[in-house]
Chain A
Amino acid sequence: VGHAVLAINGAEVNGRFTADGKDVLEFLGNPTNYPVSIRFGRHRLSSNEKLMLASMFHSLFAIGSQLSPEVGSSGIEMLETDTFKLHCFQTLTGIKFMVLADPRQTGIDALLRKIYEIYSDFALKNPFYSLEMPIRCELFDQNLKLALEVAEKAGPFGPGS
Chain B
Amino acid sequence: MSRSPGRKQENHKISRELFVLTYGALVAQLCKDYEKDEDVNACLDRMGYSIGIRLIDDFLARSAVKKCRSYSETADMIAQVAFKMYLGVTPSVSCSSASGNEFSLILDKNPLVDFVEELPAERASLCYCNLLCGVIRGALEMVHLAAEVSFLQDRLKGDAVTEIGITFLRKPEDRKHRR
Contact = CB atoms under 8 A, between A and B. Distances in A.
A20 to B, nearest CB: 34
Contact of B61 (A62, A117, A146, A150): A117
Interface in A27-63: 62
Contacts of A147: 5
Interface in A104-124: 113, 116-117, 119-121, 124
A121 B5 CA distance: 11
A146 B5 CA distance: 8
A14 interface: no
Contact of B5 (A92, A125, A143): A143
Contacts of A116: 57, 60-61
B7 interface: yes
Interface residues of B, number: 19
Nearest to A129: B54
A133 interface: no
Interface of A is mostly: helix
Interface residues of A, number: 21
A93 to B, nearest CB: 5
A91 interface: yes
Contacts of A94: 142, 144, 178-179
B62 interface: yes
B171 to A, nearest CB: 16
Interface in B20-63: 53-54, 56-58, 60-62
Query: Which 5 residue pairs are nearest across A and B when measured between Cβ atoms?
Result: A94-B179, A120-B57, A124-B54, A120-B58, A120-B61
25 contacts: A65-B178, A91-B60, A91-B61, A93-B57, A93-B142, A93-B143, A93-B179, A94-B144, A94-B178, A94-B179, A113-B64, A116-B57, A116-B61, A119-B61, A120-B57, A120-B60, A120-B61, A120-B62, A121-B3, A121-B58, A124-B57, A125-B58, A131-B54, A139-B2, A150-B5
